[in-house]
Structure 1
Amino acid sequence: MAVPQAASRILIALVALVVALAAAGAARAGVPDPLHSPMWDMHAARLFANAPVVFDKAVRVDVPQIAENQHVFPVTVDARALGEVRRIVILADLNPIPVAVDFAPSGAAPWLSLRIKLDQRTPVRAAVLAADGKWHVSGVWVDAAGGGCSAPPVSRAKGDWAQHLGELRGAMYSSTAGPRLRFTVRHPMDTGLVENIPAYNIETIRVASGPRDLATIMVWGSVAEDPAFSLLLPAGTGAVTLRLRDSNGREFTGHVAGPQRP
């Protein structure tokens, strides 16, 4: 019996995908995933293409072993031991939206703290593109209850999200590691996985001090509602400007004064 043309195209696409994933797995056969994640090869092929990948404990991923609240899960990544860093990608392998952020620390330190959602037990990882052109990857398994990405945000239930959308609050503190910037923005960060609520999230965050760009953060819907971020900035950094844009094209701007004593 002849295979319909549309079905034939789908079959060819599936075969091509399987071959691509097999090739990616073969390319990394000498460096097996220490977490044995069933999704690792697919994510690695999509995120890193043919770039070399090493699993490196120099990348610190600090998280609780158990998610007490799967809607607001704290993650801190410290890649300062690698020296110059171009990008830091934070992802949860088994989330329906695996990537949370893609952080480019153009002037900031390669250190980032934030809160994400977890939809089930999953590896939580940081993949760091260093100056050597390699992706340095580290992570841990985290136990979590289900539904972090598929439950409506609290602000939707309260019905007050529109009145506070885009409100920015922040402060900068002196620390031994340099000025530490912490800021939050009011936003529902809808994943699109809740019935009758379309995806709606912050997409980009830019941090600058005067004419100098310090960091760019690409953001996905798996970041927690009302996102909160902490960054380490260069010594001597004064006031900073935050510029955010969401998936509906709305733009939000905020200013944070120079360092205060903690």
Structure 2
Amino acid sequence: MRAPRGVLAAALLLPATLACAAPAPDPLRSTQWPAMQHALLHDEPVVFDARVEVLLPPGAEDSLQVPVAARWPALADVRRVLAFVDFNPIPRVLEYRPHRAGPFLGFRVRVQQATPIRVAVQTGDGVWHVGGAWVDAAGGGCTLPPAHRATLADADLGRVEARRWPLHDGGQRLKLRIEHPNDTGLVAGIPAFFVERLSVYDEAGAELAVLDTFEPLAENPVLTLEPAAAGPLVVRGRDNAGNAIAARVD
């Protein structure tokens, strides 16, 4: 049976978002999940996967500094790792490309309120494998000024502290701390000013891992990863104002 002209015209004018793939059922039952899948994962294939382990405290003692660790040792051919916070005003925290690095990532993040924190791992077939957990928080982490901003000297901006240590499986772990206020731009009178890119290289200049980071990453960002190189490491990066970040880790 032929549809009336008015109905056909209305169907043609439906918003494009209604034509997107239906959101995957969310085990964390977040009302924001459909928006996250559409805006950050671009409606690409998604599976909620217990092989992506996301470790975080059930309650945030400090909404400005919530520690998160993620691991995915059972997944192969990992291309990208995306971390995001459902109920933050700026959800995206970082994007990680572990070219020659182990299946682990640690970071600290601001949270605005009680929310799921998720890590999505994309494999070579284009599928996003998603893990996550809820954290309870008093709130305000994204709209409070950084605690130590006023005491940060210009000479210390971008300074890198690093530590590396061996793992029992023969790999190594690298922990970086960068002196930076990492302002979100959500505090009145303080524009967004944050670490934007970090890359880790081996001594020969081969890129081992790349991190694109965004406003919700905590002040003085702390990042932990597992680069696959035995010799000295080189860290290079920048913030969104073009200030360089550089260090050598022997």
TM-score, with normalisation over the residues of structure 1? Answer: 0.86
Q: Residues of 2 paired with 1:50 and 1:91: CA distance?
A: 15
Q: Is the 8 A contact 1:155 1:161 kept in 2?
A: no
Give 1:186's aligned residue.
179
Give 2:18's aligned residue.
22
Give 1:67's aligned residue.
60
SS of 1:44's partner is helix
Give 2:25's aligned residue.
32
Q: Residues of 2 paired with 1:222 and 1:161: CA distance?
A: 22
- Residues 121-160 of structure 1 aligned to structure 2 (within 5 Å): 121-156=114-149, 158-160=150-152
Q: Residues of 2 paired with 1:102 and 1:110: CA distance?
A: 14
Q: Is the 8 A contact 1:35 1:141 kept in 2?
A: yes
2:198 aligned to which of 205, 215, 239? 205
Give 2:222's aligned residue.
228
Identity %: 38
More helix, by proportion: 1
SS of 2:102's partner is coil
SS of 1:231's partner is strand
Residue 89 in structure 1 maps to residue 82 in structure 2: yes
Residue 218 in structure 1 maps to residue 216 in structure 2: no
1:135-155 per-position Cα deviation (integer Å, ceiling 9, x unaligned)? 011111110111101011122
1:24-77 per-position Cα deviation (integer Å, ceiling 9, x unaligned)? 3xx235x31111212111121122224211111110001111111110000001
Residue 57 in structure 1 maps to residue 50 in structure 2: yes
Query: Please, which runs of 5 or more residues in structure 2 have no aligned partner?
Result: 1-12
Q: Residues of 1 paired with 2:164 and 2:152: CA distance?
A: 28
Q: Residues of 1 paired with 2:178 and 2:152: CA distance?
A: 14
1:130 and 1:154, CA in 2 relative to 1: closer, same or farther beyond 3 A? same
1:216-258 per-position Cα deviation (integer Å, ceiling 9, x unaligned)? 0000010000001111122x5211000011000111110101x
Letter in 2 for 1:159: T
Residue 80 in structure 1 maps to residue 73 in structure 2: yes
Q: Residues of 1 paired with 2:96 and 2:84: CA distance?
A: 12
1:201 and 1:22, CA in 2 relative to 1: closer, same or farther beyond 3 A? same
Q: Residues of 2 paired with 1:144 and 1:50: CA distance?
A: 29
Q: Is the 8 A contact 1:88 1:110 kept in 2?
A: no
Q: Is the 8 A contact 1:21 1:41 kept in 2?
A: no
- Aligned alpha-carbon RMSD (Å): 1.5
Letter in 1 for 2:246: T
How far apart are 1:194 and its partner, in Å? 0.5
Give 2:92's aligned residue.
99
Residue 174 in structure 1 maps to residue 170 in structure 2: no
Q: Residues of 1 paired with 2:248 and 2:233: CA distance?
A: 6
1:107-153 per-position Cα deviation (integer Å, ceiling 9, x unaligned)? 11131001110110011000110122200111111101111010111
How far apart are 1:84 and its partner, in Å? 1.9
Tell me the matched-pair count.
236
How far apart are 1:179 and its partner, in Å? 1.0
